[in-house]
Amino acid sequence: MPDREPATVQAWLEGQLQVSTVARDRGGGYAIATAKVLPNVTQVADRWHLMENASRAFLDAVRKSMKQIRAAVGATTIDPALLTAAERLQDDGYIRREETNAAVQRLSKEGMPIREIVRRTGHSRGLVRKILRGQRSDIFRTRESSLEVHLPWLDQQWVAGLRNGADLWRRLQQHGFRGSLRVVTEWATRRRRADQIGAEALSRTPSARTIARLMTLGSDTLTKAETVVIAAIEGGVPGLVDTRNIVADFQGMIRRKSLSDLGPWLDRAKGSLVASFANGIIKDRAAVAAAITSPWSNGQTEGQITKLKLVKRQMYGKRPAWSVMMGA
């Protein structure tokens, strides 16, 4: 297909009326087009996408809980010495946001109407409303590193004893990483420091993505510092622990092909931090149920796509062999 538009899919399906089953990802366009042209076919939601969507829902739940997480960890202040140059710029922005938030909230508590707050501060009406509704981000947002997708591999190498940043960088390049040596050596330095510090030295909350990953790993794979952080989060943000269990139960249900668990799971999830994900499952319930019971899957397709993306990453910036032989 040239694109993901419902009209494009619909036009193609109109010439394929013999189709009885449609295995698809969670894209709404495919579902709409199929329902219009072939209303009686069985639609099957792809199991890989369901698992990935569940993991992403947990990551979103962690992001929503960062304020409580910071309080639980005790990292209410940030030590600039532990930040990268890019993160120090973000920290400066965070401090400015906090000052703005505090000023607007103070004026509101004094009884000042929104119109006057806008006039007094010079901020837009929309921004003032967001602050007063608690909808403005008030956490230090750690920049997502280019290493994120490679962290599981790096952790394995680190645990195995390979801890030289330059050596890790050279090996990582063979896995498609195109970042600089500095990024990897900085990670190694921070990881080495994390192994050495204890709870009393923790002055910075990890990124939401890191927390989500650590919370779903086995405790025997965590460093001392990571164990301290996760224990503090689990003790201080119990709703996040419940959410982790709900997501794990969903993924277990998909693996076990246990359709009878879907209804009770939805009842639990609708009142949790992954309510939005649960609502999506409700809207697509028939296709999700078919994913649990049906042998059909997009697994082979997704595997080939992942392989293609890996090859493209590994070849990025390299001249193909034929260009070298032809002298291009």
In a domain, 100, yes or no: yes
How confident is the model at residue 323, as a pLDDT? 46
Single residue among 139, 164, 180 that ends a domain in this structure: 139
Give the pLDDT score at 139.
47
Cα torsion 212, 213, 219, 223 to 10°: value is -110
Does residue 327 surpass a pLDDT of 70? no
With respect to residue 186, please indicate whether it lies within any of the assigned structural domains: no
Q: Residue 89: inside a domain, yes or no? A: yes
For 117-144, what is the mean pLDDT? 72
Structure-model confidence comparison of residues 307 and 318, the more confident one: 307
Structure-model confidence comparison of residues 196 and 247, the more confident one: 247
pLDDT (tens digit per residue) in 201-212:
445 677 788 888
pLDDT band at 134 (very low <50, low <70, confident <90, very high): low
Residue 184 lies in a domain: no
The residue among 139, 156, 176 that closes a domain is: 139
Q: Quick check: is 144 in a domain?
A: no
How much is the pLDDT for 201?
42
Q: What is the pLDDT of residue 318?
A: 59
Torsion angle, alpha carbons of 54, 240, 205, 142, to 10: 30
Domain containing 103 equals: 85-139
pLDDT, average across residues 110-116: 88
pLDDT of residue 138: 45
Residue 205 placed within a domain: no
What's the pLDDT at 87?
A: 58
CA–CA dist 263, 257 (Å, integer):
13
Residue 99 lies in a domain: yes
Secondary structure of the chain as H, E, C letters: CCCCCHHHHHHHHCCCCCCCEEEECCCHHHHHHHHHHCCCCEEEECHHHHHHHHHHHHHHHHHHCHHHHHHHHCCCCCCHHHCCHHHHHHHHHHHHHHHHHHHHHHHHHCCCCHHHHHHHHCCCHHHHHHHHCCCCCCCCCCCCCCCHHHHHHHHHHHHCCCCCHHHHHHHHHCCCCCCCHHHHHHHHHHHHHHHHCCHHHCCCCCCHHHHHHHHCCCHHHCCHHHHHHHHHHHHHCHHHHHHHHHHHHHHHHHHHCCHHHHHHHHHHHCCCCCHHHHHHHHHCHHHHHHHHHCCCCCHHHHHHHHHHHHHHHHHCCCCCHHHHHHCC
pTM attached to this predicted model: 0.60
User: pLDDT band at residue 317, thresholds of 50, 70 and 90?
Assistant: low
Q: In this predicted structure, what is the pLDDT of residue 54?
A: 93
Pair of tokens at residue 6: 């419902």
pLDDT at 17: 86
| CA distance linking residue 117 with residue 122, whole number of Å | 8
- Based on its alpha-carbon atoms, the radius of gyration of the chain, rounded to whole angstroms, reads 24
Domain count, the chain: 2
Which residue reads 């009686």 in tokens? 40
> What is the chain's mean pLDDT, rounded?
81
Poorest-confidence range of 81-90, 98-107, 246-255? 81-90
Residue 18: inside a domain: yes
Counting residues of the chain whose pLDDT is more than 70, the rounded percentage is: 82
Q: What pLDDT does 142 receive?
A: 46
- Give the model's confidence band at 137: pLDDT under 50 very low, under 70 low, under 90 confident, else very high: low
Measured distance CA(216)–CA(244) in Å, rounded = 8
Beta pairing partners, 44: 23
On the question of pLDDT at 328 being above 60, the answer is: no
Give the pLDDT confidence of 151-195 residue by residue, as tens digits. Answer: 778 888 888 888 898 999 998 888 888 888 888 888 888 777 666
Distance CA 255, CA 294 (A): 12
Phi, psi dihedral angles at 44 (to 5 degrees): -120, 115
